[in-house]
Each structure stands twice: as structure tokens, then as C-alpha cells.
Amino acid sequence: MPSNKSVSDAPIFQFTNCRILRSHQLQREDLWVREGKILNPEKLFFDEKGSADIQLDCKDSIIAPGFIDVQINGGFGVDFSLAADDVQSGISLVSQKILSHGVTSFCPTLVTSPPSVYHKVLPQISVRNGGPHGAGILGAHLEGPFISKEKKGAHSEHYLSTFESGAFQDLLATYRHLDCVRIVTLAPEMKRSSEVIQELTRRGICVSLGHSVANLSQAEEAVRHGATFITHLFNAMLPFHHRDPGIVGLLTSDQIPARRRVFYGMISDGIHTNPAALRIAHRAHPKGLVLVTDAIAGMGLAPGRHTLGQQVIEVDGLNTYIAGEHSIRSLVTFSPHLGPCVF
């Protein structure tokens, strides 16, 4: 049956035999789309007297909004923390490849690096919309170098840094270009972090707590100054302790502003976190959970050696290690570990 020509000539697509994500649930409903916009089919029926021009049988698939990956260090041979001359082509390659994995926006993430890397790479990153050419780029995520030595994980110890002498000026000297920066991960127990967090927040940059040995009070203080995110919960932070839950305690803290919601990234590959731990976090604070890949250059490639900024990584099956050491780094992409995440 034809669509109502007096409203729009564009064809109406009806996706049938599918489940859609609506009101925080998977519902068995058809999805109606015209000119790239989702329609209210009831309104279409009664107001426009319109109906579908083309029906597509989705064979019981789920139709979901595109994923947003806020922590991805590279992939397909591309390492975002390398001081390349042509950073854009690396980013474009990754953005194009992750589209088929369902990711429609991402934050290219840079691990702890010397200032020269930031000075070279950051000016070459630009925020742009996604499309058929690739996922959208939301801005850079700078994970380090203002992180804790004890919780450096796979970051290079040599390039860790502090801002205790000049606070925000030190940070600015390290990164220099903040225009395209969207998230900064730092350890809030570091001296003068409150000032830094305040200034970053004032500039519209999301402050995330991670790679830290902060206790709960320090974490709460950071949130009061503007921090709103936690970098890969459970990893690279003190474990939950019943007398001091540490950063993990933010999920249920009552010492943070009432209207503030703290979000937390989770690497849910079953290796970085035990699924039981993931479920505990989800049950404690279901509305804050953000899945991330924290994927590295080796994603999508065969086992072997790749770089992660200043480190060399060895990929062996599902596990990755700093070449010569034993520290977990993430490899898998979204699809394999999304299954266990459908609650």
C-alpha cells in the first residue's frame, strides 16, 4: 500500500519479525523508518493513513542502536598512541572496520605517552559524524599519564607523570591541544587533582577515575569536583573492601551530589572481569554501566606482536601480555562478549 503522498514521497520501511530495544527492554515490535527517521506507526496509521511500502523480514534478529566505544586504543594494526604523520588514515581505517561490529561512534584512546606523542597526534584528531564511511569520532580519550604507578597496568612506567607543581598548567603542557579531547582518565589521589578535575570539567571534558589506588573518600571528592566516569571498573584500582570500597564504592555512594550519576566502563570479555563481578556491579547500579572494549592494535588480526604506545604487546589466543611480562590487556571486540551481557 502506498504511503501518503501529501505528507512525504519517501518510501516507508517496515522491519518485521524482529525485536527492538525500547523502554529498557527487548520488545517484539516492528520498526518503521522513513528517510532515516524512526516513525511512530500508530501516528502514521491514524494521522497520515500511511502504511509500509517495503517490508523487511529480520528473521528474529534484534535491532539495536549502534554501540559507542569510549575506550579503544586501536585495532587492525593501527595504534592510536603512535606519533604517526598521518593519524587520520589510521583512525579512518579503524572507524570503517568497527562499523561491521555494530560500533557507530567511538573515542580513539591514547595510553600513557611522552608529551611529544600528544603534541603530534592530538592536533590531527578531529570530531566528525559517522556514516556509511565509518563510525563517528566523538573525540579523544586520554588515559594517562596522570595515573598511579602501582596501578599502571600495561602503561609505560617511564612516562607516568604528575601535576603536583602546576596543576592544570602541567596537564596543558603535557597534552597541549585539548580541542578534540573528550575524556581524560586520571588518578584522583594525586596532589592537586581537584583543581585539575574542576578545570577539565569546566571545559566540558569528562573526567574519568582509573589506574588509581584512591580510597572511597578520595573518589567521592573527585566526583564532587566534577568526575563522572570510572575507567574499566575493577581493573587497575583497589579491589572492593567492605571497610573501604575504594572507587568501586562510587556505585552506591551517598556522598556524591544527588543528581549526579556516575558511569562506569566495564570490559566484559570474561577475562578482565569475572561475570559474577560484572553482575554485582550491574545489580548495584544498573543505570551506570557502559561496556567498553579497551581494544588494542591487534584486534581483528592474527596472534602476534603489536605496539601499545610505548609498550610491545604479545597476543596469544584470547590472552595478551606485555612482551615478557604477565599483565592482562584486552583484545576481543564487542560481538563475542556481548552475548553474556544481555541480561
Query: Among residues 29 and 170, whose Cβ is nearest to other proteins?
Result: 29
In angstroms, give the least distance from the CB of 15 to other proteins.
13
Query: Among residues 50 and 74, whose Cβ is nearest to other proteins?
Result: 50
DSSP 188-245: TTSTTHHHHHHHHHHTTPEEEE-SB---HHHHHHHHHTT--EESSTTTTBPPP-SS--
According to the annotation, is 141 in a ligand binding site?
no
Q: Which cell numbers in the block locate residue 155?
A: 602503561
In angstroms, give the least distance from the CB of 71 to other proteins.
39
According to the annotation, is 221 in a ligand binding site?
no
Query: Among residues 12 and 171, whose Cβ is nearest to other proteins?
Result: 12
In angstroms, give the least distance from the CB of 18 to other proteins.
14
**C-alpha neighbours within 13 Å on the C-beta side of residue 179:** 10
How far does CA 146 lie from the centroid of its chain? 19
Residue 4-43 contact track with other proteins, rule CB under 8 A, x = bound? --------------------------x---------xxxx
State how far the Cα of 66 lies from the Cα of 209, in Å rounded to an integer: 25
Residues 221, 222, 225: CA angle, nearest 5 degrees: 90
Q: Does 90 bind other proteins (CB under 8 A)?
A: no
For residues 92 and 134, the answer to whether their CB atoms sit within 8 Å is yes
Query: Among residues 12 and 181, whose Cβ is nearest to other proteins?
Result: 12
State how far the Cα of 244 lies from the Cα of 227, in Å rounded to an integer: 19
Coil, strand or helix at 54: strand
Q: Does 46 bind other proteins (CB under 8 A)?
A: yes
State how far the Cα of 201 lies from the Cα of 193, in Å rounded to an integer: 12
Where are the extended beta strands (E) located within the chain? 12-22, 25-28, 31-34, 37-38, 54-63, 67-72, 74-75, 78-79, 103-110, 136-137, 140-143, 181-186, 206-209, 229-230, 263-267, 289-292, 305-308, 311-316, 319-322
Residue 47-86 contact track with other proteins, rule CB under 8 A, x = bound? -xxxx-----------------------------------
According to the annotation, is 211 in a ligand binding site?
yes
Coil, strand or helix at 311: strand
In angstroms, give the least distance from the CB of 20 to other proteins.
13
Q: Which stretch binds other proteins (CB under 8 A): 46-54, 60-68, 240-248, 323-331?
A: 46-54
Q: Does 276 bind other proteins (CB under 8 A)?
A: no
Query: Among residues 40 and 129, whose Cβ is nearest to other proteins?
Result: 40
Catalytic residues: 294
Q: Does 1 bind other proteins (CB under 8 A)?
A: yes
Contacting residue, 7, 10, 45, 176, with other proteins by CB under 8 A: 45
In angstroms, give the least distance from the CB of 26 to other proteins.
18
Query: Among residues 12 and 154, whose Cβ is nearest to other proteins?
Result: 12
CB-based contacts of 242: which residues, under 8 Å, 6+ apart?
none
Annotated binding site: 143, 211, 232
**Binding site residues, other proteins, CB under 8 A:** 1, 30, 40-46, 48-51
Which residue ranges make up the annotated binding site for Zn(2+)?
A: 143, 211, 232
